[in-house]
């Protein structure tokens, strides 16, 4: 996830038990051009393996150059993004647009394998409503091109998060191929993850939105087990590490989003979100967060209409931020 799954957040997810993490999505052409922004998206540290670099290929002619820049980082896997629904990414023939051009996707897989010794994986959405290619054909094309595993996000390019993920499409992909299939979509609790594996037969589960504000999902713990004091400690450590790692210009907008995500289960969080997004410095943000938690906010009642409304707003906001974030990822 752009502007989210940076080194600091990946470290937190690994702390709670994530078996494999991925970098933010980076453009192959921007990496080949030496973009410092793309380099930040793809950066990994020696301490965080296993980790994969997530790549979307927007210029085949410069793919070899991009992989040459990536190889010294020694990623454990290079993941080709064929699932991003952003119009800007798809306008370059990348992301979910590749679902309408499986021969092109196969050429990308083969080229990355040719230029790198790292295993290659692919993340897809399910079909393009115009091409109507079955998920089994997408999965077989990925397998035939030599990918080591496939991640299926069980929505189409045109589906929004308000529409439930179709887990049966993950099961269809599992039945179609012999490589491991990773399931993704609408996993917000550890029970969701177990149910997805049971119902689809997938080999593992990728958690995305479900880890935002609740990275302890990887430990099998539910958010209701953590009180305001525990959330405060985890959140402030994350915020301070973002500042130390990236500096205030990069860290402030990222930290502001994490504050909104981590506190959404508590009373008064909506006003906190407004206050935090008005902050113009990291010290101001930290002071604002501390003042909020000093009030010892109560948790919203599980199953309440208020909490449901909060979660619905959270999902809509994630979609909005995702669209905004892709504006600066394409060269």
Report, as residue numbers or ranges, the catalytic residues. Answer: 84
**Beta-ladder partners of 122:** 80, 150
C-alpha Rg value of the chain to the nearest Å: 20
For residue 266, list its beta bridge partners.
Answer: 299
Long-range contacts of 41-48 (CB under 8 A, 24+ apart): 41/2, 41/329, 42/70, 42/73, 43/7, 43/73, 44/7, 44/73, 44/75, 45/7, 48/7, 48/10, 48/11, 48/14, 48/21
Centre a 10 Å sphere on the Cβ of residue 166 and count the other Cβ atoms it contains. Answer: 18
Strand ranges (DSSP E) for the chain?
Answer: 21-22, 26-27, 51-56, 77-82, 120-124, 149-153, 181-184, 204-206
Q: How far apart are CA 108 and CA 103, in angstroms?
A: 9
How far apart CA 186 and CA 209 sit, in angstroms, is 8
Nearest 5°: CA angle at 156, between 133 and 323? 135
Nearest-10 Cα torsion for 136, 142, 146, 149: -80
Instruction: Tokens 């393009």: give the residue.
Output: 128
User: At a CB cut-off of 8 Å and minimum separation 6, what does 63 contact?
Assistant: 28, 32, 57, 108, 111, 112, 115
User: Degrees (nearest 5) of the Cα angle 5, 289, 265?
Assistant: 70
Q: How far apart are alpha carbons 180 and 78 in whole angstroms?
A: 15
* CB 196, CB 182: distance < 8 Å: no
Contact 257, 5 (CB under 8 A): no
């Amino acid at each position: 996830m752009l502007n989210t799954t940076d080194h600091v957040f990946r470290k937190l997810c690994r702390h709670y038990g994530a078996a494999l993490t991925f970098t933010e999505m980076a453009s192959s052409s921007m990496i080949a051009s030496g973009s410092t922004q793309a380099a930040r998206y793809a950066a990994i540290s020696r301490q965080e393996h296993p980790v994969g670099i997530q790549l979307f290929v927007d210029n085949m002619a410069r793919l070899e150059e991009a992989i040459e820049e990536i190889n010294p980082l020694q990623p454990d896997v290079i993941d080709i993004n064929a699932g991003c629904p952003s119009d800007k990414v798809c306008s370059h023939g990348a992301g979910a647009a590749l679902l309408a051009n499986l021969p092109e996707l196969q050429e990308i897989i083969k080229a990355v394998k040719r230029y790198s010794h790292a295993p290659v994986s692919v993340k897809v959405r399910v079909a393009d409503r115009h091409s109507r290619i079955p998920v089994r054909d997408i999965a077989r094309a990925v397998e035939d091109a030599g990918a080591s595993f496939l991640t299926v996000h069980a929505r189409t390019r045109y589906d929004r998060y308000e529409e439930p993920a179709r887990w049966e499409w993950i099961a269809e992909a599992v039945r179609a191929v012999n490589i491991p299939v990773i399931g993704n979509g609408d996993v917000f609790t550890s029970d969701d993850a177990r149910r997805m594996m049971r119902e689809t037969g997938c080999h593992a589960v990728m958690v995305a939105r479900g880890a935002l504000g609740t990275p302890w999902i990887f430990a099998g713990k539910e958010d209701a087990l953590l009180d305001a004091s525990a959330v405060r400690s985890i959140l402030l450590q994350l915020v301070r590490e973002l500042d130390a790692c990236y500096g205030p210009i990069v860290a402030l907008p990222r930290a502001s989003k994490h504050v909104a995500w981590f506190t959404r289960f508590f009373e008064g969080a909506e006003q906190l979100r407004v206050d935090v997004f008005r902050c113009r410095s990291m010290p101001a943000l930290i002071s604002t967060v501390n003042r909020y938690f000093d009030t010892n906010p109560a948790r919203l009642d599980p199953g309440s209409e208020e909490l449901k409304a909060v979660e619905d707003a959270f999902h809509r906001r994630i979609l909005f931020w995702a669209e905004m974030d892709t504006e600066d990822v394409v060269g």
